[in-house]
Amino acid sequence: MSDQTATSVTWHAWLTTTSPESRRQARLGQLYRQWLAFRKNPAAVVGLAIVVSLLLIAAFAPLIAQHDPLAQALDQRLLAPSAKHWFGTDALGRDIFSRVVYGARVTLVIVMLVVITVGPVGLLIGCAAGYFGGWVDTVLMRITDVFLAFPRLVLALAFVAALGPGLENAVIAIAVTAWPPYARVARAETMIIRNADYISAMRLQGASQMRIVLKHVVPMCMPSLIVRTTFDMAGIIITAAGLGFLGLGAQPPIPEWGAMISTGREQIFDQWWVATFPGIAICVVALGFNLLGDGLRDVLDAR
């Protein structure tokens, strides 16, 4: 047996032991077992590969893109896909492949800003409603129901119309409309957790309500929230693309996938590549997040 194989076996035994010697070993062992369960799902691995590829494309966009995504060349407008322009050019002669690559950055910025905003807000509202119950639960959930009563895109359109078009306002509009499902998930989990024996033990020890919620209830809701967030990223991407398609999201000349589809819809029958490749990018990325979320649900949700 080679030294490398022996080391691998040693690490595997250390991570999978049923008697960990420290909290760090126990946590690393749990993560390792979750990874072993995750990689048994081929679709989830494909989803992870798509998401990682999106991150790498966004990070190394200047190295991947063949041309300046904003440079116009009217003498090369609406060229078909070729060795020079892999995805062809648009009505202003801009390289579509480069714009799709840089559009990954815009998409990730929107998704990350929305997620880091709505995740904590929805989690705290849901945990507070589920733990305290009574009038607190009634007020918070009725507010949540009001937001859930409207389709997300319609409500986002209303907010963007009030705030004005632009990338920042699009993020705000999507965030305002995206938090209710997180609150619902967190509330359902909290209503199960609040009557657990270890919560009662914390109350008997004199722990404050805020400490119980933040230190013990919120961490137990995190796995379900992570799964919900991963699934929701596809919806966020589609909503952002919808706003861009209607001219209310990222403004020209920013290479945003929804706006690219909008500019190419007039040539959809003759120059199909202008709108097709940004549409394929949206479909592939949304599919990747859905597959990843499905795999994470199987691993993190014990039920």
Model confidence at 282: pLDDT above 90: yes
271 and 278 Cβ atoms separated by less than 8 Å: no
What is the helix (H) or strand (E) element at residue 106, kind and residue range?
A: helix 96-132
Instruction: Determine the pLDDT at residue 303.
Output: 54
What is the rounded average pLDDT of the residues 58-65? Answer: 90
Comparing CA positions, the residue from 86, 65, 89 lying closest to residue 75 is 89
Comparing CA positions, the residue from 124, 300, 122 lying closest to residue 224 is 300
Quote the CA–CA distance of 77 and 93 in Å, as a whole number.
4
Please give the CATH architecture assigned to the domain spanning 42-300. Orthogonal Bundle (1.10)
126 and 187 Cβ atoms separated by less than 8 Å: yes
Place of tokens 């403004």: 251
237 and 111 Cβ atoms separated by less than 8 Å: yes
Comparing CA positions, the residue from 159, 158, 129 lying closest to residue 144 is 129
Tokens of 216: 């013990």
Instruction: Determine the pLDDT at residue 128.
Output: 87
Please say whether the dihedral angle defined by the alpha carbons of residues 279, 280, 283 and 289, taken in this order, is positive or negative. Answer: negative
The overall average pLDDT reported for the chain is 84
Model confidence at 9: pLDDT above 70: no
| Domain residue spans of the chain | 42-300
CA angle 241, 245, 249 (to 5 degrees): 70
Model confidence at 255: pLDDT above 70: yes
Comparing CA positions, the residue from 205, 29, 222 lying closest to residue 120 is 222
Question: Could you read off the pLDDT of 182-236 as tens digits, one per residue?
Answer: 888 888 888 888 888 888 888 888 878 888 888 888 888 888 888 888 888 888 8
224 and 189 Cβ atoms separated by less than 8 Å: yes
Percent of the chain with pLDDT over 70: 95
Quote the CA–CA distance of 185 and 200 in Å, as a whole number.
22
Instruction: Determine the pLDDT at residue 279.
Output: 92
162 and 177 Cβ atoms separated by less than 8 Å: no
Q: What is the pTM of this model?
A: 0.83
